[in-house]
Structure 1
Amino acid sequence: MSDIPFYLGAFILVLGVLIVVHEFGHFAVARLCGVRVLRFSVGFGPVIWSRRFGADQTEWSLSAFPLGGYVRMLDEREAPVPAAELSRAFNRQGVGRRSAIVAAGPLANFLLAILIYWLMFWQGSEELRPVLGPPVAETPAARAGIANGERVLQVNGIPVETWQDFRWLLLQQAAKAPQVELELLNEQQERHYRSLDVAELAEQGWQGDAFAHLGLRFYQPRIPALVGQVQPGTPGARAGLREGDLFLEIGGQKIEHWAQVLETVRQAPGRDMSFLLRRGDQEFRVQITPEAVEERGVTFGRIGVGVAEAPGVAMPELRGFVSYGFLESGIKAVRETWDKSVFSLVMFGKMITGEASWRNLSGPVTIADYAGQSARLGLDYYLKFMALVSISLGILNLLPIPVLDGGHLMYHILEVIKGGPLSERAMAWGQQIGLSLLFTLMAFAFFNDLSRLLGPLFNG
């Protein structure tokens, strides 16, 4: 419960910045086009605070419901306009100017994402290298022959420098074809090419952790399976394990390094298992039942023993500082924003066609959770999360749904084709359809949030 204020604060800050940036885009271009802005509101519903500023005495306000905002402009369709100000009314502007004002909100969100990525790439950060661990048995990664310690060099011919780059590129390429080609460098500095079958992601409706479905994991050092600290009162302590004991077998499976101990125990919560160990010159066998532990809705086994220190264990370079030049960072930021925008549209299209599950749609609860998690990880993660949500907000607003910016742009296109504005009746019907679609999307998002939040409670 103590995390709730922190997560809520992180969410409000992200949401507030993105709403202000979006609405300021509308406001700035409206002013450039000579349109008078009557109100700039963060939030919907009753106004709870307001002040008037500027030559036009624009009302700057905070409203009761903070999930959005709006810019209200002088418009004859909403209220009578004095004859002296008719030229400054939104509805009196040409279709080009009106479209520019409407499109400026989503564009501002994309520009914010580009700016954040630009600064992040330019200043650089400490990143995990894309070094793979042992794949989960009977998964696409295992069938592809991936081995522990192999570093990813390229995904479908595209160079990879960081673990995050690898995750993103793999998803992006998997949306295009059922096979992805990986160029890998093993611990002996030999290059290998692996063909990874990613069709399972589509079969799963693109739900959950893609890397978990594929069996991909980060590098696991080959630390000897020596027992370190044994926690009192745990299954390991009750079985008599001591510091310095060496695991030889678990459930008949030969153990060669500590990662195998962790993996085998994690997969056996509440299951009685036979452990063969060596203490000094003597081998002995004990029966241990790993206790079931639940974290974030995932149940796994634990016996309460740590690994002993292993000085001198050779490990590949797992971290490195990654940065780019000023201009290169800008180009990379534009490309990053474009790629993520296209991927979002592709996934939304897959949801419409049934290729991807609607459970991928997230609402404010999930966004708040991710906002808090990223804020705890540090400023870099939080800003990158803000950039990603800003892109999503820009894409959402450009969807051709009446009441959204994309719906208004659709009206403007139809106006150009028709040679005049649509009838008020057509606009009214469009508004009703748009609101219905928007409420349907919101209902799906809230349902998914509740499923993620309450699902583990009912499943447990």
Structure 2
Amino acid sequence: MNGILVSLLSFIVAISVIVTIHEFGHYIVARLLGVKVLRFSVGFGRTLFKYISPRSGIEYVVAALPLGGYVKMLDEREEPVAAHDQPRAFNNKSVYARFAIVAAGPLFNFIFAIFAYASMYMIGVQGLAPEIAKVEPNSIAYQAGLLPGDVLVRINDRQVATWEDAALNLIGEGIKTGVVALQKKTPAGDLEQHNLDLSDTRLLLAEGDPLTKIGITPWRLQLAAKLGEFARGSAAQAQGFLAGDLILQADGVAVKDWLHWVELVKNHPNKEMNVVILRQQQRLVMTLTPKAVQQGNDTIGRIGVKPWIDREAIEARQIVTQENFFEAFSRGWSKTLDMSVLTVKLLGKLITGEASTKNISGPISIAEFAGISAQMGLATFLSTLAIISISIGILNLLPVPMLDGGHLMYYLVEMVKGSQVSETIQLQGQKIGIMLLAGLMLLAFYNDIQRLFS
């Protein structure tokens, strides 16, 4: 329940911030160009909060449904306009002014992403070094000559420091060049060059982890069934278990890892277990009776102990990237550009059928992603905000009527032909735009629901 609440609150914060930034772009440029703004609303539906500026008369509104927003401007096409206000009506401005006002929304999304990424780099970004734990036989990585223990150093001309860098660059460079030049450092410390064939973009962009699809398993901390910190009132501590005990067997069953041990404990509420442990190189046989606790409609066993964490192994592979103000903004600009280009390429592959439509996510997946990133810290949450902002900016630039990009397309036509696109054509385009957006939302919700039940 707490996880759902965190995801919901994180989603509301993320969408509200990004919508506000987007609409502020329209708002500020409209005011700078002399258009009369009537209302600035974050959200749709019932008004939760409203403030009317005594100087400008603009209504500032926060509404109940935080899935969008709008800036209402004076426009003769929507309502009669007094003669003295006609020069301030949106429709009476030059096509270049209207183009600038509409383009400002997506532009501010990209500007916000630069600031979010820059802030992330100033706070400090943590990640794991791109060390390979396993290579699947006969996979693309295996055929390229990659081996367990290798650390990825460079993909084409791009240096990679973490697995996040590696995954994004493998996709981006794979789409661009097909075969990528990959530099690795072997366990002996030697640098070697290999060619990785990523020309099969359908495989690379199918649903799922791209690293898994090419046969790479990244190094991750494997949680052994070893006892760590005890909670207050721990059943295990009360029955003689100590931190550092390694669980070998439970009721004659060999315990594989921590998750296996957790399942065995959960299945024994108030039931005695015969446990074989390894303590200071000695095998001991002990008994353990987990406490019975209620979890929803189920009664499960619990012993009140966390797993032992090999912090030395993590610290040896942990990379922390922290930059000064100027370098952070330089990297923020580069990261925003890279992510924008990659998103546009992926959209192109979706249109041509080379990428799976299952990669399209809706609000449920975004909420889950936002919730996880919020719990991981401010830097990770800022990265999530930047990604969502870039996605909304690019989505709004698509030449689809109803979106900013559709209006910009009409304005470009107007610049060429010297007159506005007819209202009949705009009305027909609006109908097509509604159908396309409805179809996209249905697909996104369908994917979300499929992920929930899979």
With the shorter chain as reference, the TM-score category is: 0.7 to 0.9
Q: TM-score, normalised by structure 2?
A: 0.80
Measure the CA separation in 2 of the matches of 1:49 and 1:315: 47
- 1:313-392 correspondence to structure 2 within 5 Å: 317-392=316-391
- 1:432-451 correspondence to structure 2 within 5 Å: 432-451=431-450
1:276 equivalent in structure 2: none
Structure 1 residues 228-273: Cα deviation after superposition (integer angstroms, max 9, x where no partner): 8565xxx94233659xxxxxxxxxxxxxxxxxx77xx9xxxxxxxx
2:61 equivalent in structure 1: 61
Measure the CA separation in 2 of the matches of 1:436 and 1:415: 25
Aligned to 1:51, the other structure's residue is in SS state strand
Measure the CA separation in 1 of the matches of 2:206 and 2:335: 21
- The one-letter code matched in structure 1 to 2:408 is L
Aligned to 2:218, the other structure's residue is in SS state coil
Q: Which moved more, 1:37-46 or 1:84-93?
A: 37-46
Measure the CA separation in 2 of the matches of 1:28 and 1:417: 27
Measure the CA separation in 2 of the matches of 1:41 and 1:430: 25
1:126 equivalent in structure 2: 126
1:283 equivalent in structure 2: none
| Residues 1:314 and 1:91: Cα distance change in structure 2 (over 3 Å) | closer
- Give the share of equivalent positions with the same residue, in percent: 39
Structure 1 residues 138-173: Cα deviation after superposition (integer angstroms, max 9, x where no partner): 322223222222221110121122222112111111
- 1:176-325 correspondence to structure 2 within 5 Å: 176-203=176-203, 205-219=205-219, 229=245, 236-239=249-252, 317-325=316-324
Q: 1:397 touches 1:404 (CA, 8 Å); kept in 2?
A: yes
Measure the CA separation in 2 of the matches of 1:310 and 1:433: 57
Q: 1:135 touches 1:147 (CA, 8 Å); kept in 2?
A: yes
Runs of 4 or more consecutive aligned structure 1 residues displaced over 4 Å after TM superposition: 220-231, 306-311, 313-316
Aligned to 1:417, the other structure's residue is in SS state helix
Q: Which moved more, 1:146-155 or 1:322-331?
A: 322-331
Aligned to 2:97, the other structure's residue is in SS state helix
> Would you say how many aligned residue pairs link Structure 1 and Structure 2?
397
CA-based RMSD of the aligned residues comes to 3.3
* Pairing 1:94–2:99 present: no
Measure the CA separation in 2 of the matches of 1:34 and 1:135: 61
Q: Which moved more, 1:152-161 or 1:23-32?
A: 152-161
CA deviation after TM superposition for structure 1 residue 25, in Å: 0.7
| Residues 1:314 and 1:433: Cα distance change in structure 2 (over 3 Å) | closer
2:9 equivalent in structure 1: 9
- Structure 1 portions without partners, runs of 5+: 243-260, 266-305
Measure the CA separation in 2 of the matches of 1:308 and 1:379: 26
CA deviation after TM superposition for structure 1 residue 181, in Å: 1.8
Q: 2:226 touches 2:245 (CA, 8 Å); kept in 1?
A: no
- Structure 2 portions without partners, runs of 5+: 228-243, 261-305
2:103 equivalent in structure 1: 103
Structure 1 residues 372-399: Cα deviation after superposition (integer angstroms, max 9, x where no partner): 1111111111111011001001011111
Measure the CA separation in 1 of the matches of 2:25 and 2:309: 56
CA deviation after TM superposition for structure 1 residue 200, in Å: 5.0
| Residues 1:220 and 1:65: Cα distance change in structure 2 (over 3 Å) | closer
1:258 equivalent in structure 2: none
CA deviation after TM superposition for structure 1 residue 48, in Å: 4.2
1:81 equivalent in structure 2: 81
- The one-letter code matched in structure 1 to 2:82 is P
Aligned to 2:188, the other structure's residue is in SS state coil
Q: TM-score, normalised by structure 1?
A: 0.79
